[in-house]
Amino acid sequence: MKRQAFTLIELLVVIAIIAILAAILFPVFTKAKDAAKKATSISNLKQIGLSTLMYAADYDDVYPMSAYMKPPEGSDPRPVVFSVYDAVQPYMKNVQLFLSPSDGNRQFWKERLNGLNLTVPQGGVERASYAPNLGLFGENLCSLPAPLNKYSQVWSQTSIPDVVNTVAFFDAYIVKNLADPSKGIGLTYNKFMGMPRHTEGLVINFSDGHAKFYKWNAVGTIGSGSDLVPRDRPGIPYYGWRQDIAFADSEAKLEVAPNTPANPYNDMHGIPGTFVGDSEDFACP
């Protein structure tokens, strides 16, 4: 008996079933893929945090600086910024840990510095998806001209009142124009903004070494038990996103988000239990 081909109706039914199954399964696959990336990011930040603690153990419990200046190297006449990335990298031996699997553009740290006529050390870290808490890691940019010449103290782990709730590193977007007057000049805290890369949330590493995922609207609860507030942030919670403007879940939105010291869009910088709110700048020694 000769076999007949499928009828048009039968083909349409099969196609419809496949389409329905795809509609059901594709979101599941997407969520599974994001969950895997989130797990990788947690692992990355965990290892960065542990490397930072290893650094501190070698330097009398003192955390590295977020940035300090070094003379030009080789034939490049530009001053060198030695960052916290460069300080902890020898303890990691893998610069790929600085890159989030959900950061498609791979934040170009070196390019941002080049915009200020600065650069990274030879063989230094050029890309980083995670930013440091500039309230925790001090800085010494005193050799730069005003208003770039900034200075703030370094901290030791034993001097931090609430180690578990003090942010160290976090999923971040580094503003492209570091000389944008609307976001301050140079390497200020509001150039290093929290970036919710994972289903409206971000991964945070704390100064005791642990790392955890937070939904964007739960970040403000970190360190909120402290009775003290930063002297330049009266009434504004630590590590909190503003709720009165649209949620910025992309680099483009973060680039144009209004952000001032008095009213930050998001602030992942500060030390609970102290009056340090972000990169507290003092007179250069």
pLDDT tens digits, residue range 131-188? 999 989 989 999 888 878 888 888 998 999 889 999 999 999 999 888 887 777 888 8
**Confidence band (pLDDT; 50, 70, 90) for 26?**
low
What Å distances lie between residue 138 and 4, 68, 92, 125, 280, CA to CA? 78, 9, 21, 18, 8
Q: Is residue 165 domain-resident? A: yes
Q: Is residue 154 domain-resident? A: yes
Q: Is residue 267 domain-resident? A: no
Can you read off the two tokens belonging to residue 32? 């599974």
Q: Is residue 79 domain-resident? A: yes
* Segment (H or E) for 211: strand 211-215
Q: Is residue 124 domain-resident? A: yes
Q: Is the pLDDT of residue 2 over 60?
A: no
- Looking at residue 236, its pLDDT comes to 67
Q: Is residue 261 domain-resident? A: no
Which domain does 68 fall in, by range? 8-256
Q: Is residue 262 domain-resident? A: no
Domain tally, the chain: 1
Q: Is the pLDDT of residue 20 over 80?
A: yes
**Confidence band (pLDDT; 50, 70, 90) for 285?**
confident
Contact, 195 vs 244, CB < 8 A? no
- Angle between the 8-58 and 84-92 helix axes, to the nearest 10 degrees? 100
Q: Is the pLDDT of residue 52 over 90?
A: yes
User: For all residues of the chain together, what is the average pLDDT?
Assistant: 86
Contact, 119 vs 81, CB < 8 A? yes
Q: Mind listing the pLDDT tens digit for each residue in 223-262?
A: 877 766 666 666 666 787 877 778 888 899 998 888 776 6
Q: Which residues contact 57 (CB under 8 A, 6 or more apart)?
A: none
* Interval 44-53 mean pLDDT: 96
Q: Is residue 246 domain-resident? A: yes
Supply the DSSP symbol for 127: B
